[in-house]
């Protein structure tokens, strides 16, 4: 498939189709996933994911014990590591295909912990990397400028060190956004434990998030690719814009779906789409090569499917399975997929959505309307349609275990229960 010259067309996902219309689609998609012998994505890269997580702690060391603790807090509880997984699998599935692969492979043999600025000028002491960072000293003299000797880092599982580091960076940005999100949502729980704002207070949770972003930005610069810096930086802007969009007044009925899907892209899918594209760029695929588009389209569709399922689970699952409070969206005034579909069947829910469920009894009433409607089922069908689209855009990739695992992941995302 190396010479594939197709193009990824815009999705035509029908988000108002009825469950009846989607029955055949659902059956075909689930059958396509289950009849295969595709590798389990989490098992295929289990050792790599463990390494990504373990080595991440070293990036977050601080000489302030409090900051050190908060920055690492959300990495201590088990997480799905879906974002790093997408990045690593797309790296594996596309490495060797791009025009600049050999060049990137050679560039990949560099020390990614080594500061670009001299360590004593950077003054960002990290006790976990003491030989490569320096702390602030008050009296300052002219220092010599001998270049440090880079230690080599090697390819592993066919994945470049830069791509593994990108997986860590993306997970760091995700964790930073969760620290801020739990302040905004006043959430008591995250990943089955007391949330960071509950444990340390809002101020420290916000500062911890900012510290993680600082370290992620430095690590990003050390990847040496301005295009990847641009892509990943824009994820942070998207996350903030998505959060602001969610805070605004409820949109007019005609705009409700567009705004919801836009918010879903910004808060969830952008990180997966741009992280995946970044991995392929680091693997030497140049502008115009289809693999970049495959990665972006896969991450975007999978991300939207993932969030739609998340929005269903908020109605269906409780604290024990989610590791965070269920039913939070209505409490926060948010009308997600199930409520928007319910609105089509029960117009009475409209005024509740418009006032963001802020009157006593609104939340319970809205939940009843959603239960009486086929909102949850139709949201699941929509998630299936996005997941199927994610699987379909993989066609240009040559067959490999990584491609099979990416396909399997589309099924896992829609079937998940937590
Ligand atoms: C979870 O949303 C939160 C996000 C996906 C992103 C939140 C983004 C910000 C707070 C903007 C700041 C960003 C950075 C990078 C500092 P949720 O509340 O819908 O899900 P939950 O149930 O997991 O809390
Ligand atoms: Mg939240």
CATH of the domain at 289: 1.10.600.10
Q: Which ligand is nearest to the CA of 190?
A: 1
Q: Which ligand is nearest to the CA of 322?
A: 1
- Residue 314 inside a domain? The answer is yes
- Residue 139 inside a domain? The answer is no
The stretches in the chain having pLDDT less than 70 are 1-36, 108-109, 137-153, 319, 326
- Residue 38 inside a domain? The answer is yes
- Ligand 1 site, residue 189, Cβ cutoff 6 A: no
Measure 183 CA to ligand 2 centroid, in angstroms: 8
Please tell me the predicted confidence (pLDDT) of residue 291: 98
- Ligand 1 site, residue 184, Cβ cutoff 6 A: yes
- Residue 141 inside a domain? The answer is no
Measure 388 CA to ligand 1 centroid, in angstroms: 26
Atom of ligand 1 nearest to the CA of 209: 16
Q: b/e map of 269-301 (b: 16 or more CB within 10 Å)?
A: bbbbbbbbbbbbbbbbbeeebbbbbbbbbbbbb
Whole-prediction pTM: 0.90
Measure 415 CA to ligand 1 centroid, in angstroms: 23
- Residue 140 inside a domain? The answer is no
Provide the token pair at 374. 């086929």
Please tell me the predicted confidence (pLDDT) of residue 257: 96
- Ligand 1 site, residue 38, Cβ cutoff 6 A: no
- Ligand 1 site, residue 61, Cβ cutoff 6 A: no
Range of the domain at 366: 7-133+153-415
- Residue 146 inside a domain? The answer is no
- For 154, counting Cβ atoms within 10 Å of its Cβ (0-12 exposed, 13-18 middle, 19+ buried), the class is exposed
- Residue 258 inside a domain? The answer is yes
Cα separation, 203 vs 313, in Å, equals 30
Instruction: Specify whether the CB–CB gap between 325 and 299 falls below 8 A.
Output: no
Please tell me the predicted confidence (pLDDT) of residue 11: 45
Cα separation, 323 vs 414, in Å, equals 19
Q: Which ligand is nearest to the CA of 173?
A: 1
| Residue partners of 225: CB distance under 8 A and separation at least 6 | 162, 281, 282
- The tally of domains found in the chain comes to 1
- Residue 142 inside a domain? The answer is no
Please tell me the predicted confidence (pLDDT) of residue 192: 84
């Amino acid at each position: 498939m190396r010479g594939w010259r197709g193009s990824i067309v815009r999705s035509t996902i029908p988000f108002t189709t009825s469950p009846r219309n989607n029955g055949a689609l659902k059956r075909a998609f689930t059958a396509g996933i289950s009849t295969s012998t595709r590798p389990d994505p989490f098992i295929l890269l289990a050792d790599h994911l463990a390494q990504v997580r373990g080595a991440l702690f070293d990036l977050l060391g601080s000489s302030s014990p409090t900051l050190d603790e908060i920055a690492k807090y959300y990495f201590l509880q088990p997480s799905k590591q879906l974002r790093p997984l997408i990045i690593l699998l797309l790296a594996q599935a596309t490495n060797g295909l791009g025009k600049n692969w050999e060049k990137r492979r050679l560039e990949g043999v560099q020390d990614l912990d080594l500061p670009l600025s001299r360590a004593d000028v950077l003054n960002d002491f990290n006790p976990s990397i003491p030989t490569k960072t320096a702390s602030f000293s008050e009296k300052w003299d002219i220092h010599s400028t001998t270049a440090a000797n880079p230690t080599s880092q090697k390819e592993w599982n066919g994945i470049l060190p830069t791509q593994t580091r990108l997986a860590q960076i993306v997970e760091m940005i995700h964790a930073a956004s969760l620290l801020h999100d739990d302040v905004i949502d006043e959430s008591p729980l995250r990943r089955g434990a007391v949330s960071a704002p509950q444990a340390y207070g809002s101020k420290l949770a916000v500062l911890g998030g900012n510290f993680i972003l600082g370290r992620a930005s430095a690590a990003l610069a050390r990847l040496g690719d301005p295009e990847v810096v641009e892509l990943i930086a824009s994820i942070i802007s998207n996350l903030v814009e998505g959060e602001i969009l969610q805070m605004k007044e409820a949109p007019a009925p005609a705009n409700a779906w567009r705004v919801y899907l836009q918010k879903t892209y910004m808060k969830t899918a952008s990180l997966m789409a741009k992280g995946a594209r970044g991995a392929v760029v680091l693997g030497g695929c140049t502008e115009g090569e289809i693999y970049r588009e495959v990665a972006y389209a896969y991450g975007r569709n999978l991300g939207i499917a993932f969030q739609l399922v998340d929005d269903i689970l908020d109605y269906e699952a409780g604290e024990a399975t989610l590791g965070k409070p269920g039913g939070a969206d209505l409490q926060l005034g948010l009308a997600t997929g199930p409520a928007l579909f319910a609105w089509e069947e029960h117009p009475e829910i409209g005024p509740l959505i418009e006032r963001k469920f802020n009157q006593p009894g609104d939340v319970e009433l809205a939940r009843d309307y959603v239960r009486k409607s086929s909102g949850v089922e139709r949201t699941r069908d929509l998630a299936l349609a996005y997941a199927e689209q994610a699987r379909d855009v993989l066609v240009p990739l040559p067959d490999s275990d990584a491609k099979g695992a990416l396909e399997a992941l589309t099924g896992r995302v829609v079937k998940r229960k937590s």
